[in-house]
Amino acid sequence: WEQRKLEDYVVVSTAKNVDGRFNKEDVLSVSGEYGIVNQIAFQGRSFAGSSVLNYGIVNTGDIVYTKSPLNSNPYGIIKVNKGIPGIVSTLYAVYRPQDNVHTNFIQVYFEQHERMNNYMHPLVNKGAKNDMKVTAENALKGVVTFPSREEQVIISEFFDRLDSLITLHQRKY
């Protein structure tokens, strides 16, 4: 395993919905439990502003960081878009994986609350209203310890199978 900055594995995506290809029905949200989901399907309605032209485009396999504090994650969460492409509010940071990383491994890596919190804590300044003051670029300045890409794939597939098995047993109950 090798210690490197996260910016060696992902880059900030600057793709915006300026051409209007996506609309309010395509707005995505980030859920701690369910990952990246369609806002209307998940929450019953769109919370988008009057215009979504400045929203960031999220393709399948892109990584999204939400700065919104959640119960166990006061510095937000990182999830991979495993679904269809869409758009996210400008409050989210969108990243594109480079060739040296298996995108699902990034989500597996940051799934552990303590690891996510320890990674983000030194990079984030909390504002007066308890909001996160961190740029998309600065969120990549922390150090991560990743294995080779081949091992990332194996680890990610193991956790995917484990998640599927847990879901299967939950349905039985």
Residue scoring higher pLDDT (132 or 112)? 112
- Sequence ranges of the domains in the chain: 2-172
Confidence bin at 134 (pLDDT 50/70/90): confident
User: What is this structure's pTM?
Assistant: 0.88
Query: In the predicted model, what is the mean pLDDT of residues 18-40?
Result: 92
* pLDDT score, position 94: 97
Confidence bin at 131 (pLDDT 50/70/90): low
Beta bridge partners of 13: none
CATH class of 2-172: alpha beta
Confidence bin at 127 (pLDDT 50/70/90): low
Q: State the DSSP string of 115-161.
A: HHHHHHGGG-EE-TTS-EE--TTGGG-SEEEE--HHHHHHHHHHHHH
Q: How far apart are CA 121 and CA 139, in angstroms?
A: 10
Which of 33-47, 84-98, 158-172 ranks highest by mean pLDDT?
84-98
Contact residues for 41 (Cβ-Cβ < 8 A; gap 6+): none
